[in-house]
Amino acid sequence: MKKGVIFLVGVGLLFGIFWAGATYVQDQREVKPYAFELQSADGPVRLSDFKGKIPIVYFGYMYCPDICPTTLAQAANALQKLPKEEADKFQLLFISVDPERDGLGDLKEYAQYFYPDALGLTGEAPALKEITQNYGTYYAKEYIENSGVDYTVAHTTFLYFLDTQGRLAHTIKHSQSPDEIFRALQKMLIIAKNE
């Protein structure tokens, strides 16, 4: 009888360990794809630096005269609609996929032009390639002939919203208006409350 009990307890314990381990690994797998380490004018920046905050990530490039400023302005506009304590929970991140042209100092100024707390980041091409692949975002350099613009960067226009633990919670594929972003912000605040 006693041996049986010990055996059952042993099995139960092992099962418990595996289950806990599996959940831990699963969590790590969810977080890992969206983690990054990039450069800013003030030093390296990691996604994990914003644990506890709600990161909003946008990939683009500064040479883009229209889509990028529009999207960033819409995001900033949506943030400004929130009371300050709520807006401060978010962290707007602009990641340039054009490190050849976008310097770190310029990126800092550019990001802050839209929103004072926003950060402008970039990195080396291989790092960017990996990060954008993980996020499911695409970009491609297109050389243009007969243009004052040597090349443009075709890119997806997604806005990514991550939760306070660094997991992807929401994506807006092509933001049409600040209202859409505002609704996403409110949704993220509710998610953060329940975490």
Partner 1 sequence: MLKTFFAALFVCATSVFAAPIEVSDAYAREVPPNLKNSAAFMKIANTTTEELFLLGAASPVATRVELHEHVMEGEMMKMRPVEKIAIAPHAHTTLEPGGLHVMLIGLNAPMREGETIVLELYFSNGQKQTLDAVPIKSVMMGMKKHKM
In the complex with partner 1, the residue whose CB is nearer, 23 or 80, is 80
Q: Which stretch binds partner 1 (CB under 8 A): 15-23, 44-52, 154-162, 182-190?
A: 154-162
| Interaction between residue 191 and partner 1 (CB under 8 A) | no
Q: Which of 8, 70, 117, 129 binds partner 1 (CB under 8 A)?
A: 70
Please give the structure tokens belonging to residue 150: 């040597």
**C-beta of residue 24 within 8 angstroms of C-beta of residue 108:** no
Rounded to whole angstroms, the Cα distance separating 102 from 116 reads: 19
Among residues 9, 13, 55, which one has the least CA distance to residue 168? 55
Question: Closest distance between partner 1 and the C-beta of residue 4, in Å?
Answer: 59
The size of the interface with partner 1 (CB under 8 A), counted in residues, is 41
Q: What angle do CA 136, 138, 141 make, to 5 degrees?
A: 165
Name the one residue in this structure whose structure tokens are 């990028």.
Answer: 68
Nearer to partner 1, 34 or 115 (CB): 115
CA distance 182 to 76: 10
Token pair in block for residue 195: 């975490």
Question: For partner 1, which residue of 35, 41, 82, 127 counts as binding (CB under 8 A)?
Answer: 82
- Site for partner 1 (CB under 8 A): which residue of 27, 142, 179, 195? 142
- Number of neighbouring beta carbons within 10 Å of residue 164: 17
Cβ proximity to partner 1, 13 vs 144, nearer residue: 144
Q: Which helix (H) or strand (E) holds 171?
A: strand 168-172
Nearest distance in Å: CB 33, partner 1: 18
Residue 64 binding partner 1, by CB under 8 A: yes
| Binding footprint of partner 1 on the chain (CB under 8 A) | 62-67, 69-70, 73, 76-77, 80-84, 87, 105-106, 109-110, 113-114, 138-140, 142, 144, 146-149, 152, 154-158, 173-174, 178
